[in-house]
């Protein structure tokens, strides 16, 4: 029985990615690993990080430095570009849009879809496209 899915975003700079997710989207860092391989519990932004687990409400995302995953999956070296697409459902999407629209790169403004949701799309600094939707 499957229990959960936590995407792992592969990035060039974990700290820069955390700035976006924590400062703009209000995620909280649950756990982080520095470049020495040590778990960091406090003042995470003062460390050069290679991995972090972040959370907001019921959504968790892992963020990992590209070079740190090569020992585990060497074939990833052949992929030079990357992008991810997330679809996150939320309530009160208009409030969320108003809170973040001036702080992010908006790809598509808030709109009604043909399949009955209200959505908007943003992009993070490392080409993760994030759909926020309200059903």
Within 8 A by CB and 6+ apart from 135, the residues are 89, 116, 117
CATH no. for residue 123? 3.30.720.110
The pLDDT of residue 102 is 98
**CA dihedral angle for residue 2, residue 30, residue 64, residue 60, rounded to 10 degrees:** 40
Kindly state whether residues 61 and 12 are assigned to the same domain: yes
How many domains in the chain?
2
Q: What is the pTM of this model?
A: 0.88
**Per-residue pLDDT tens digits of the chain, which is 135 residues long:** 778 889 999 999 999 999 999 999 999 999 999 999 999 988 998 999 999 999 999 999 999 999 998 888 888 777 777 788 999 999 999 999 999 999 999 999 999 999 899 999 999 998 899 999 999
Q: Which of 21, 23, 1 is nearest to 11 (CA)?
A: 21
Kindly state whether residues 14 and 27 are assigned to the same domain: yes
What range defines the domain where residue 46 resides?
1-78
The pLDDT of residue 29 is 97
Kindly state whether residues 99 and 55 are assigned to the same domain: no
Note whether 44 and 52 are within 8 A (CB).
yes
């Amino acid at each position: 029985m499957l229990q959960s899915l936590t995407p792992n975003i592969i990035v060039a700079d974990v700290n820069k990615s955390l700035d976006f997710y924590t400062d703009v989207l209000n995620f909280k860092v649950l756990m982080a690993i520095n470049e020495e391989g040590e778990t960091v519990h406090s003042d995470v932004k003062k460390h050069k990080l290679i991995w972090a687990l972040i959370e907001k409400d019921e959504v968790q995302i892992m963020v990992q430095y590209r070079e740190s995953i090569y020992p585990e999956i060497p074939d990833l070296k052949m992929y030079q570009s990357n992008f991810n697409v997330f679809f996150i459902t939320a309530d009160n999407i208009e409030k969320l849009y108003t809170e973040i629209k001036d702080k992010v790169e908006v790809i598509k403004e808030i709109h009604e879809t043909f399949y009955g949701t209200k959505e908007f799309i943003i992009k993070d600094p490392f080409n993760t496209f994030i759909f926020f939707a309200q059903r």
